[in-house]
């Protein structure tokens, strides 16, 4: 960012106006002048003096305006700069003003004790003297206009990204882009490299040279799930099991033994890993044909239902949901990584169940994570 560019100056003005509104009329915010031709020693875009009316006690905010900001930029650029600022001016508080912050970027800023304010309403500012504490989280997401100004990066939505996310979560590193490309048919090395660049910016992976040497698989699954909606991405048909879930699941076992492509997901699968509650809908992935759920429902003895369904037959949005399935209680169930994605992006209490499964996975990583791409059973796809 070029300090003093019109766009950044407008952002800075808007951000300071927001801060004035939050503080109220008894507070004064004064931008300190920089001598013409001189460079501010603090390294900030501007220094702002903050005090209450009639009080000689003041604090200094060392303000940086950034039109966009990634977690990686926080860790590699802002954090060292903030540490230097504190050494030079221990009574000053670094503050970054930007257009829109992601949850991961906010967490990184908090970890490095950098105050922030964005134009969506996310604020974190703590000053001991004069005492100021403002903490606010906005439910809004970045508007399209703001997103268009960011560097073009592949998102973690869509089938290709889903295949790559599942692979990175399921298989322990190290590996390179060429290894990942070879393991997932239908994606190019250029696409993989771009997605890895985006993941590195989000601090979801760490690379040494060309090799991925560490994957934050928990953060990766959470980030992917934020861009999904289980019931939107997988068109579903609601059914009622007249005899209850026990006989239904036994009938599913029988069809699976006969070779039917069915996989259990959702609350019933999560409960076997990390039980939180009883009840909930039985969710089954089926092939994405139009008649598939209806034909399967008849074979399972289910009744179609527009309301009050206790069974959902999900037309799989991609074959990746059937990849690396596992057997539990005699049932073919989705892989733990897929279960987390489904639960985190599902309705009701499912996100809490997804977090419980994540905790189980963290405690038992050696049991489910494949040690190397070469050890993949039958390749990356089912």
Q: Read off the pLDDT of residues 154-205 as tens digits, 9 standing for 90 and up.
A: 578 888 999 999 999 999 999 999 999 999 888 999 999 999 998 998 899 9
Out of 149, 182, 198, a domain closes at 149
382 within domain boundaries: no
Residue 164 · residue 187 · CB < 8 Å: yes
pLDDT of residue 5: 58
Residue 201 · residue 151 · CB < 8 Å: no
Q: Give CA 167 to chain center in angstroms.
A: 16
Q: Are residues 10 and 144 in the same domain?
A: yes
Q: How many domains does the chain have?
A: 3
| CB proximity list for 131: less than 8 A, separation 6 or greater | none
Q: Alpha-carbon distance 135 to 138, whole Å? A: 10
Q: Are residues 244 and 200 in the same domain?
A: no
- Note the pLDDT tens digit of each residue in 219-269: 999 999 988 999 999 999 999 999 999 999 999 999 999 999 999 999 999
Q: Are residues 139 and 166 in the same domain?
A: no
CA atoms within 13 A on the CB side of 58: 16
Burial class for 177, CB neighbours closer than 10 Å (0-12, 13-18, 19+)? buried
380 within domain boundaries: no
Which residue range is the domain that position 209 belongs to? 159-226
| CB proximity list for 321: less than 8 A, separation 6 or greater | 234, 263, 265, 285, 334, 338
379 within domain boundaries: no
Q: Are residues 138 and 190 in the same domain?
A: no
Out of 149, 177, 193, a domain closes at 149
- Checking if the pLDDT of 365 tops 90, the result is yes
pLDDT of residue 7: 64
Q: Are residues 311 and 338 in the same domain?
A: yes
φ and ψ at residue 112, rounded to 5 degrees? -100, 15
Three-state DSSP class for residue 117:
strand
Out of 99, 125, 149, a domain closes at 149
Q: Are residues 239 and 222 in the same domain?
A: no
| CB proximity list for 226: less than 8 A, separation 6 or greater | 103, 344, 345
Q: Are residues 213 and 243 in the same domain?
A: no
Q: Are residues 184 and 253 in the same domain?
A: no
CA angle, 343 as apex, 341 and 349 as ends, to 5°?
155
Six-digit token string for 186: 């239908």
275 within domain boundaries: yes
378 within domain boundaries: no
Q: Are residues 213 and 239 in the same domain?
A: no
- Note the pLDDT tens digit of each residue in 288-334: 887 889 999 999 999 999 888 999 999 998 999 999 999 998 999 99
What pTM value is reported for the model? Answer: 0.73
Q: Are residues 61 and 192 in the same domain?
A: no
16 within domain boundaries: yes
- What CATH number did the domain enclosing 168 receive? 1.10.10.10
φ and ψ at residue 255, rounded to 5 degrees? -65, -35
308 within domain boundaries: yes
Q: Are residues 216 and 277 in the same domain?
A: no
- Note the pLDDT tens digit of each residue in 42-98: 556 888 888 887 777 788 888 989 888 888 889 888 888 888 877 777 678 899 999
Q: Are residues 88 and 163 in the same domain?
A: no
* CA end-to-end distance (rounded Å), the chain: 46
Burial class for 293, CB neighbours closer than 10 Å (0-12, 13-18, 19+)? buried
pLDDT of residue 196: 94
45 within domain boundaries: yes
pLDDT of residue 190: 93
């Amino acid at each position: 960012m070029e300090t003093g560019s019109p766009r950044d100056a407008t952002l800075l003005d808007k951000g300071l106006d927001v801060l004035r509104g939050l503080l109220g009329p008894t507070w004064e915010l004064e931008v300190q002048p920089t001598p013409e031709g001189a460079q501010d020693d603090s390294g900030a875009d501007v220094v702002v003096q903050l005090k209450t009316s009639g009080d000689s006690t003041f604090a200094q905010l060392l303000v940086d305006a950034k039109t966009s900001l990634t977690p990686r930029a926080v860790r590699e650029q802002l954090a060292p700069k903030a540490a230097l600022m504190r050494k030079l001016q221990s009574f000053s508080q670094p503050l970054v003003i930007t257009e829109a912050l992601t949850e991961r970027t906010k967490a990184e800023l908090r970890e490095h004790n950098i105050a922030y304010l964005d134009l969506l309403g996310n604020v974190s500012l703590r000053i001991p003297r004069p005492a100021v504490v403002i903490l606010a989280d906005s439910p809004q997401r970045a508007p399209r206009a703001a997103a268009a100004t960011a560097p073009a990066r592949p998102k973690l939505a869509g089938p290709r990204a889903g295949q790559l996310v599942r692979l990175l979560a399921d298989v322990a590193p190290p590996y390179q882009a060429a290894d990942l490309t070879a393991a997932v048919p239908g994606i190019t090395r250029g696409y993989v490299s771009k997605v890895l660049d985006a993941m590195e910016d989000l601090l979801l992976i760490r690379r040494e040279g060309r090799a991925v040497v560490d994957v934050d698989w928990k953060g990766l699954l959470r980030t992917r799930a934020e861009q999904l909606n289980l019931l939107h991405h997988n068109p579903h048909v609601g059914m009622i099991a007249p005899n209850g879930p026990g006989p239904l699941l036994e009938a599913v076992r029988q069809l699976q033994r006969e070779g039917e492509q069915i996989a259990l997901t959702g609350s019933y699968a999560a409960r076997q890993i990390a039980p939180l509650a009883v009840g909930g809908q039985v969710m089954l992935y089926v092939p994405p044909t139009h008649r598939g759920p209806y034909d399967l429902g008849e074979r399972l003895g289910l009744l179609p239902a527009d309301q009050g369904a206790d069974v959902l037959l999900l037309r799989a949005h991609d074959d990746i949901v059937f990849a690396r399935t596992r057997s539990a209680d005699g049932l073919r169930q989705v892989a733990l990584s897929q279960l987390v994605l489904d639960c985190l992006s599902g309705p009701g209490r499912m996100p809490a169940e997804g977090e419980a499964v994540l905790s189980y996975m963290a405690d038992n990583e050696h049991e489910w994570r494949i040690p190397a791409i070469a050890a993949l059973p039958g390749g990356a796809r089912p």
